[in-house]
Structure 1
Amino acid sequence: MTAISLTRASASTNASQPNFAVRLLAGVREWNELRATRKALSALSDRELADIGLNRGDIGQIGR
């Protein structure tokens, strides 16, 4: 007969690090916010971009 252990390793080893799913979700949220920002900036005219101190070439650099 085989016994299966259902105990886990000590939780204290991972307590200081967020788990993979949390980090992944945070990364997706950040990527989406940057995508939305670049999309909104792309919709502005050249004059509106100049008013906030940007030009079209700067949009691609947002978030890098």
Structure 2
Amino acid sequence: MATFDQFRSVVPAPRGFFANLLAAALTWSDRRGTVRALRALTDRELADIGLTRGDVEEMAHRR
């Protein structure tokens, strides 16, 4: 317990760390869902929206 208290007083948590962590996790989850949904489409369905199988990862990582 003393080690934890000592470490905590020396290295404070940066402001917004947990907010940034949560935002990163949500972004990752959204991208993962997008990739999953696009991969579930057939080649014909992808062609209808102007994509190919090779475009799936790129589209998921666009901002």
TM-score greater than 0.5 by the shorter chain: yes
Q: What do residues 26-50 of structure 1 show as CA deviations (whole Å, max 9, x unaligned)?
A: 0100010000000000000000000
CA RMSD after TM alignment: 1.2
**Normalization by structure 1: what TM-score?**
0.68
> What are structure 2's unaligned runs of at least 5 residues?
1-14
Structure 1 residue identity aligned to 2:31: L
- Return the structure number with greater helix share: 2
Larger radius of gyration: 1
TM (norm. structure 2) is 0.69
Question: By how many angstroms is 1:60 displaced?
Answer: 1.6
Counterpart for residue 38 of structure 2: 41
Matches within 5 A, 1:1-64: 19-61=16-58, 62-64=60-62
| Number of matched pairs | 47
What percentage of aligned pairs have identical amino acids? Answer: 51
State the Cα distance separating 1:20 from its structure 2 match: 0.2
Q: Which structure carries more relative contact order (alpha carbon 8 Å, separation 6+)?
A: 2
